[in-house]
Structure 1
Amino acid sequence: MTRRSPLLTALALGLAIAFGAAAPSSARDTPATPTYEVPESGVIGIRDEYLAPGFWVARMTQPDGVLMDRAAITAQNARLQQLDPSMHDVRAIPSTLDRATVRGWIEDLSERPTSERFDVDGAPVPEAALDAMVDNLALDAIPASQPTRHGLVVHRAALRTFPTAQRMFSRAGETDIDRLQESALFPGTPVVVAHESRDGDWLFVVSPRYAAWIEKRYVAIGSAAEVFGYVDQAPYRVITGGTEDTVITREEPRVSQLQLDMGLRVPLADAPPDQAVNGQHPYTAHILRLPVRNDDGSLGFSSALLPRRLDSASDYLPLTPANLVRQGFKFLGERYGWGHSYDARDCSGFVSEIYRSMGVQLPRNTSAQAVSPALHHVTFDKDDDRATRMAAVAELQVGDLVYIPGHVMMVIGHVDGAPYVIHDTNGGSYLGADGELQGMSLNGVSVTPLLPMMFNDHETYVDRMTSIVRPHGGLGGLATTPTGVETTTMKARP
């Protein structure tokens, strides 16, 4: 039997008081070695009913209990901006950029690959191609000083390590994990434009969560007042579906069938409700105000229609256990997209967008999310044994984020005391009855039990767990202070 530390016992009591029964009481009795069936699908521990959000919501005793109100979320977001080094306060960037600052941003990201890279056909990428890629950074063309330029992203667009669309992979035959793909930006995202590639097709931009290269055609340049005025504009709609598209229109192709992803906050246009928008009466839609790029690269705005039948809301959703699960399931089955490729998302993008639909901001990458000084977390290292880790697993609640090296999962509930997670994964394996590793090739947003998932042929995900983050509230000894959240590592001892 696992003996809980006094710290974990206090943690469990404190969370029960603070959040009620967001997870069933059986969560505190996680069996050490649960038995899981393997259905015909080959995905261990899964029954058809587990693939519907209603199954998990029905198991909650307080599904609609608010875990953090709007004021608490706003305060946490402010701490994130202030304390987390992975975040960028684009409003606070000086009005003039010097060469050292810009060069530092670029060189922090754009390092020439030191190991062999392969193209989509499996052929080695020649050194000449890498030379050209590095040369296109145009580091020698960075001026000693330049006025800070602001812009808005006008279309979902990839963020790249280098100013190139060429895809590169670590192994021949690999076609999913593009090592030059960093992330994506979405319509309406404010950026600071710091540099232009030598070929003139790419911009190096600093966005609130990432600094990288984006195609120039997806950024419209405007004044700081125009850019941040748009960001702050109300009223607005929040996209609550996985992805929703604006109405197709030939009259204004720049906003036709524009993909809007979960959690985006899009202002409403000040437009007459009885007059056509791009050739269509707007009474069945919300009239959005979207940024567009004019022919000269300057910022403009255009109205677009978002049908009322699509999934959006007049404000961020309440942060509740039920909403966390329902929002996660809206991506179920979407293909895994490393760095937001395939117009989809990866594991950290997945959990970010779930929480963003409730107004909670997270850093972009797992490495930053897992240790963010603005978020409540428990961390683990190689000295923490299985009993220590299982004691922490026993206290998992709906919405908790569980991190292993390079991956994150969100807890959705428990079955027979054992935790289940939803996650966007490009792999997935478990040990079969014969002790051999069984691959599941999930490669998408999936529901799985946590405990049998294998990191390699002898370590489970729990064995390699690095952190548990609770974006929606405190974890034991971590407490909010006037300057932020205490970040002392909290150990869970057996």
Structure 2
Amino acid sequence: MFLASRHTSRRHGLALALVLCIGSAPVLARPAAADDAPDPGPALPYIIGLHEAYLSPGYWAARLPDADTPILDRRQIDAQHARMRAEDPHIQDIAALPASIPASQVRSAITALSHWPSRPLHDIHGNAIPAALRQDIEANLALDAIATTTVPQYGLVVHRGALRTFPARQRVFSSTEGTDIDRFQESALFPGDKVAVVHRSADGAWLFVHSERYSAWIEARHVATGNRETVLGYGAQGPYRVITGAVAHTAYTPEDPRVSRLQLDMGVRLPVLADWPPAQVVNGQQAHASWVVQLPVREPDGTLSLVPALLPRSQDSSSEYLPLTPRVLLQQAYKFLGERYGWGHDYDTRDCSGFVSEIYRSAGVLLPRNTSAQGVSPALDRIAFTDKDGAATRDRAVAALQVGDLVYIPGHVMMAIGHVEGRTWVIHDTAGGSWKDADGQRIQAHLNGVSVTPLEPMMASDELRYIDRITNIQRIRAQTP
């Protein structure tokens, strides 16, 4: 996903030979034992160089001498978050919004997002979007109805909801050959996410909201508004359950459909009602085999209530954020292996930047939403590349990648998982990919999901490798003042 950045690139030097410095942290050459792992067996078909063993996180963790050594402890993660909130313009503190916002500021926030693309758009059947439909969608912005000053309302997301460019469900595509990438799909918010509501669509069905990582349109049915202190204080105190699976679901309950089989994505953190009486049922079910969590729900008038719900112990969750270690990053990434690619969190899945965000979120690490913002974040340890960096410089940087490093090319991010037999391997959520066959012909691969591939053979065109297109490498590591 793309999001324009206002941050100016900060250049890091590249060391020669065996050591690559990112900020102040030296990156040593891979351990001597890296190629001493057992034979991974014959190659699998189609994906270049892939073996069965490479599809297991344990294979990569076993090759590391420090798989369980913390990359950052909780204190260091908190310090990084403080930098992120202070220095990265893509992270928004909705608690700092003024009591009233001038119309010009509300209008500017909406029009920065909701401007019609210049390229032709088509519907799901390949037909051009008619002018009348465009007029209806743009009219639903209700820009003329913005008050002189707006008092923000605060709310909690009650159900996984799409963030949209316009207040419309209409799916639009820039190509007639595929319907996976809806150009009005921006991102998603999850149960318990906090938002500030600053505008409502003309039909009343959509809200323009600011959240920590994004501002966009969300359907009003996914948000419950309430007292500012209640909203901002939700989940401020533990105990908690952190979702550590790719997704988890609350228990089915006909008594309260609002919290029945609710999808909770990796990294979502919910408060636990630890003092819930053992004999008291929750929505018709005794709670000994579940955690009693507190969830926001939307009442018929749109207001917020907080209710108990059951998160079965069979669902993958933890009492706190996972430790940030190479093994944990590998394990969490592989929980998504094979999941369908979802542009802007479409299809109830995720895209490349959402994929890496949620891996790190399960360890309590905050990242900006989109690749263009992640790649330049000043709060991370960044190496920036320009057209002046040649193949040798880029190849040295790739050879020095460590597990968890994030590699950015225009519009895409990959996470490094290790090196074997002279190749660097990555896991990424990708719509496509290509490499050259034995005859030098480029193979276009419709991967369309979370995949494991080598980095070196991946081609961006007939002549350019992915490596030649790298714009940034980001490493989540402690920074030295």
TM-score interval (norm. to shorter):
over 0.9
Paired residue for 1:66?
70
Question: In the superposition, relative to structure 1, how do residues 89 and 333 fare at CA in structure 2: closer, same or farther (>3 Å)?
Answer: same
Aligned residues: 464
Matches of 1:72 and 1:429, distance apart in 2: 38
Matches of 1:114 and 1:6, distance apart in 2: 39
Paired residue for 1:230?
234
Task: Return the letter of the residue paired with 1:109.
Answer: L
Matches of 2:14 and 2:206, distance apart in 1: 51
Counting only pairs closer than 5 Å after superposition, residues 13-24 of structure 1 correspond to structure 2 as: 24=31
Task: Return the letter of the residue paired with 1:87.
Answer: I
Unaligned runs of 5+ residues in structure 1 are 29-36, 481-494
Kindly report the root-mean-square deviation, in angstroms, between the aligned alpha carbons of the 2 structures: 2.2
Question: Does 2:424 correspond to 1:446?
Answer: no
Question: Does 2:208 correspond to 1:200?
Answer: no
**Comparing 325-334 and 47-56, the one that deviates more:** 47-56
1:94 to 83, 95, 98: 98
TM-score (norm 2): 0.93
Counting only pairs closer than 5 Å after superposition, residues 374-389 of structure 1 correspond to structure 2 as: 374-389=379-394
2:376 to 363, 371, 382: 371
Q: Any conservation in 1 of the 2:157–2:189 contact (CA below 8 Å)?
A: yes
Question: In the superposition, relative to structure 1, how do residues 7 and 20 fare at CA in structure 2: closer, same or farther (>3 Å)?
Answer: closer
Q: Any conservation in 1 of the 2:173–2:179 contact (CA below 8 Å)?
A: yes
Counting only pairs closer than 5 Å after superposition, residues 43-442 of structure 1 correspond to structure 2 as: 43-269=47-273, 270-442=275-447
Q: Any conservation in 2 of the 1:22–1:398 contact (CA below 8 Å)?
A: no
Deviations 1:159-199 (A, max 9, x none): 00000001000011320000000000000000000100001
Question: In the superposition, relative to structure 1, how do residues 106 and 22 fare at CA in structure 2: closer, same or farther (>3 Å)?
Answer: farther
Matches of 2:52 and 2:244, distance apart in 1: 25
Cα offset, 1:21, TM superposition:
7.5
Question: In the superposition, relative to structure 1, how do residues 86 and 76 fare at CA in structure 2: closer, same or farther (>3 Å)?
Answer: same
Task: Return the letter of the residue paired with 2:447.
Answer: L
- Structure 1 consecutive aligned stretches of length 4 or more whose deviation exceeds 2 Å: 9-15, 17-28, 37-41
Unaligned runs of 5+ residues in structure 2 are 1-11, 36-40
Cα offset, 1:209, TM superposition:
0.1
Question: In the superposition, relative to structure 1, how do residues 43 and 14 fare at CA in structure 2: closer, same or farther (>3 Å)?
Answer: closer
Paired residue for 2:9?
none
Question: In the superposition, relative to structure 1, how do residues 318 and 228 fare at CA in structure 2: closer, same or farther (>3 Å)?
Answer: same
* SS of equivalent residue, structure 1 residue 389: helix
Matches of 1:198 and 1:264, distance apart in 2: 32
Percent sequence identity is 55
Matches of 1:52 and 1:424, distance apart in 2: 16
Matches of 1:437 and 1:392, distance apart in 2: 25
Q: Any conservation in 2 of the 1:24–1:414 contact (CA below 8 Å)?
A: no
Cα offset, 1:416, TM superposition:
2.0
Deviations 1:134-158 (A, max 9, x none): 1100000000012221000000000
Matches of 1:346 and 1:458, distance apart in 2: 26
Matches of 2:325 and 2:124, distance apart in 1: 43
Task: Return the letter of the residue paired with 1:218.
Answer: H
Cα offset, 1:7, TM superposition:
4.5
Q: Any conservation in 1 of the 2:426–2:453 contact (CA below 8 Å)?
A: yes
Matches of 2:180 and 2:362, distance apart in 1: 27
Q: Any conservation in 1 of the 2:433–2:447 contact (CA below 8 Å)?
A: yes
Question: In the superposition, relative to structure 1, how do residues 13 and 444 fare at CA in structure 2: closer, same or farther (>3 Å)?
Answer: closer
Q: Any conservation in 2 of the 1:19–1:67 contact (CA below 8 Å)?
A: no
Question: In the superposition, relative to structure 1, how do residues 274 and 12 fare at CA in structure 2: closer, same or farther (>3 Å)?
Answer: farther
Task: Return the letter of the residue paired with 2:103.
Answer: R
* SS of equivalent residue, structure 1 residue 232: coil
Cα offset, 1:12, TM superposition:
2.7
Deviations 1:190-227 (A, max 9, x none): 00001000011000000000000000000000111101
TM-score (norm 1): 0.90
Matches of 2:410 and 2:21, distance apart in 1: 29
Question: Does 2:479 correspond to 1:471?
Answer: no
Question: Does 2:15 correspond to 1:8?
Answer: yes
Matches of 2:18 and 2:100, distance apart in 1: 48
Matches of 2:89 and 2:34, distance apart in 1: 34
